Amino acid sequence: MVGFPMKKQRQWFKIFNVTSGNFFEMFDFMVFGMFAHMIAKSFFPSSSPYLSLMLSFVTFGTGFLMRPIGALVLGGFIDKYGRKRGLLVTLGLMAFGTFTIAFTPDYSQIGVAAPLLILFGRLIQGFSAGAELGGVSVYLSEIAPAGRKGFYVSWQSASQQLAVVCGALFGFVLSKILSIEQMAGFGWRIPFIFGCLVIPVVFFLRNYLQETESFKHAKHHPSINEIIKNTLANFPLIAGCSMMVMLTTVSFYMITAYTPTYAKDVIHLSGAKAFFITMCIGLANFIFLPLMGTLSDKVGRKKPLILFSGLFVLTAYPMLNWLVHNSTFNHMLVVELWFSLLYAGYNGAMVVALTEIVPANIRSISFSFAYSIATAIYGGFTPAIATNLIHFTDNPASPALWLTIAGACSLITVLILGNKKLL
């Protein structure tokens, strides 16, 4: 930060503080999907590898079902009691869920209690994450200078990408130094233990968050009853916003959480190469997202939303079908980077657009609820849906159909909201 004016230093410090917690939460949430193969063997033993993996992915997806509840409860808490206090609560809950997953004995030790405890940990994580993303996005939106909201809010998603990189880096290194048996036995727990170790640091940083001026100067902070009433009154708009989020959440979990499994099971790459590709995706997203957020500040939200959702519809299946018939490491990297560019282009405009569309007095709960509904219904189960599509169609390119549907739904929603002058 040397050389920056003090005001700018403070702004960057605020961004770093709030996104550090977002990084931690997303890291702990994502590594479950990345290490699904190993977790499946520890907690969901079965004679059928498909069934074992599906149970693991369903547990991964179940965590997302708690997101809408977390969005309503914790999002309402944030709107009433402030951004800082609410974000400290979400961080504490995520830490508890992570600790549970990291230290639960496997199935061979405690039987059916093992998968039940893992499920419980995922539910707690989902409850927390339901308001975390919305709380962070709203905070960044409210501290952003005029004309810079797209750039500022993009760091919420960019911090998630560092979590993807860190998770994939763990996978890459561990797969190099540990055997398959060691990875399945204890290796997968190491990222979760790391997550537990950084908890005190993140709590320290987030405790230094300053409340936003927008919240402090608000003449009226609605009661919980008022928040619920206003949320119900605006439910059609929130439901529409959730459809706009659909493409973001489906594409994100397709190119991050599902990539290691797809690379190993379909493209037949080694575990190290699969995690390396995932790491590259995270780095690409980290670079692309602030650039695309800045683009949306320059040209508006509507144009990028239409362009990149349309490109998903047109290119998702041709690109993945090409990869299936040309199954190499380089080709998969090209396809995933293309999807990364499209994801960043759409998300860079979508997240900030969402903070602008929803009512200001219920901004956290509206944003969080819209995002959580989309994630719970579509994004969280994307790895399971993709696995089932391949299993039942016997077409390795079929996961692209899910991407195409998500792109079409979000594109139609953007056009409708644009016609209503909301974008």
Task: For residues 93 and 98, give the distance between their C-alpha atoms in angstroms, rounded to a whole number.
Answer: 9
> For the segment 75-114, what is each residue's pLDDT rounded down to a tens digit?
778 877 777 788 888 888 888 888 888 899 988 889 888 8
Residues 193-208 pLDDT 10s: 988 888 888 888 777 7
User: Which of 45-49, 77-81, 179-183 bottoms out in mean pLDDT, i.e. has the lowest?
Assistant: 45-49
Structural domains of the chain, ranges and CATH numbers in brackets: 11-207+228-419 (1.20.1250.20)
What whole-number distance in Å separates Cα of residue 158 and Cα of residue 344?
Answer: 9
Q: State the pLDDT confidence band at 415, using cuts at 50, 70 and 90.
A: very high
Of 126, 132, 130, whose CA–CA distance to 19 is shortest? 132
Token look-up 């079409």 returns 408
pLDDT digits (tens, 9 = 90+) for 217-255: 665 666 667 777 877 888 888 888 899 999 999 999 899
Tokens, residue 234 = 């605006």
Entry field: residues in the chain: 423
Residue type, 116: L
- How far apart CA 412 and CA 414 sit, in angstroms, is 6
Report the predicted TM-score, pTM, of the whole model to 2 decimal places.
Answer: 0.80
- Nearest by Cα to 346 from 311, 379, 378: 311
φ, ψ for residue 397 (rounded to 5)?
-90, -5
Are 340 and 285 in contact, with CB atoms under 8 Å apart? yes
* pLDDT single digits (tens) 51-62: 777 777 777 777
Cα 61–chain centre separation: 12
Q: Which of 310, 406, 380, 407 lies closest to 61, judged by CA?
A: 380
Spatial distance between the Cα atoms of 307 and 2, rounded to a whole number of angstroms: 38
* For the chain, percent of residues with pLDDT exceeding 90: 30
